[in-house]
Amino acid sequence: MSTLSDLATTDELLVVSDFDGTLAGFHPSDIYDVPINGDSIDALARLSQLPHTTVAVLSGRHLAGLQKVCPLESPVIFAGSHGAETSGEPSGERGPDAQQLSILQDLDEQLEAIVAAAPRAYVEKKPYHRVVHVAELAEESPETAAEICDAAAQIRAPGLTSMRGKNIVEFSVSGENKGTWISRRRTLIGATGVLFIGDDTTDELGFATLSEADLGVKVGPGDTAATLRVDDLAEVARIYQELAELRTLWARRRDGSSRD
């Protein structure tokens, strides 16, 4: 496991951040009205301007929704739908093929039948994913919310994967997940060190791809493959700030020695 100091001096650094629960808190009913941690955003923006440093926000949100809610800008890379859609990559914006669309259509019928009985549960439709949301329902009726998630999680189909998260069940027809995305991006830029911070079940696939030269940080409680754990968004911000400070010093030293 790497430390922040190791990562700050690595030749080619890749910083990957989850969004919801990592850079922003939650809102029970409006996913575009979430409290965003400005300190984390500032630190990631600074990191993205440094040499040999790539910053990406990797989220389960669809790409357009992620870009709408997250105040960062290029050169920060946005990867939505768990990496199935990446900003600046046309291949990632093609959309599902006929077979995937057919699987999604069958899934929609089954999910609509499950949530029909509970008006405060709903199905979010993303290009490659469907997400059953029960957060609002869980506040007044946790048992019904759990029943809906249990019923949804029973659905199986070839080419379809599902995963449970915090008050959600998420279905995917894409082969991409946070782990495959991080691995691909690491190879693409030749990263020698990766920092990945996330809070939820889908982030575990990302943590699982990390190696000795990397650092995975889990936000909040729960089983994890990450090597470090922090309690909340303020601690996440401190990590990004410290890395931005250390990486800035590294870049200055490097710059200075190359001029000698």
Residue ranges that bind Mg ion, judged by CB under 5 A: 18, 20-21, 199-200
Q: Are 251 and 231 in contact (CB under 8 A)?
A: no
* Closer residue to Mg ion, CB minimum distance, 34 or 246: 34
CA angle 253-255-257, nearest 5°?
70
* Closer residue to Mg ion, CB minimum distance, 100 or 179: 179
Report the nearest approach of Mg ion to the CB of residue 18 (Å): 4
Distance of CA 165 to the CA centre of its chain: 12
* Closer residue to Mg ion, CB minimum distance, 166 or 184: 166
Report the nearest approach of Mg ion to the CB of residue 60 (Å): 7
Report the nearest approach of Mg ion to the CB of residue 24 (Å): 9
Report the nearest approach of Mg ion to the CB of residue 203 (Å): 6
Angstrom distance (rounded) from CA 50 to CA 10: 13
**What is the full DSSP assignment across 229-246?**
EESSHHHHHHHHHHHHHH
Report the nearest approach of Mg ion to the CB of residue 258 (Å): 39
* Closer residue to Mg ion, CB minimum distance, 200 or 214: 200
Distances in Å between the alpha carbon of 228 and those of 180, 185, 219, 225?
21, 22, 9, 9
Q: Are 16 and 50 in contact (CB under 8 A)?
A: no
* Closer residue to Mg ion, CB minimum distance, 52 or 166: 166
Distance of CA 68 to the CA centre of its chain: 15
Q: Is the peptide bond before 75 cis (omega within 30 degrees of 0)?
A: yes
* Closer residue to Mg ion, CB minimum distance, 38 or 190: 38
Which residue's Cβ has the minimum distance to Mg ion?
A: 21
Report the nearest approach of Mg ion to the CB of residue 27 (Å): 13
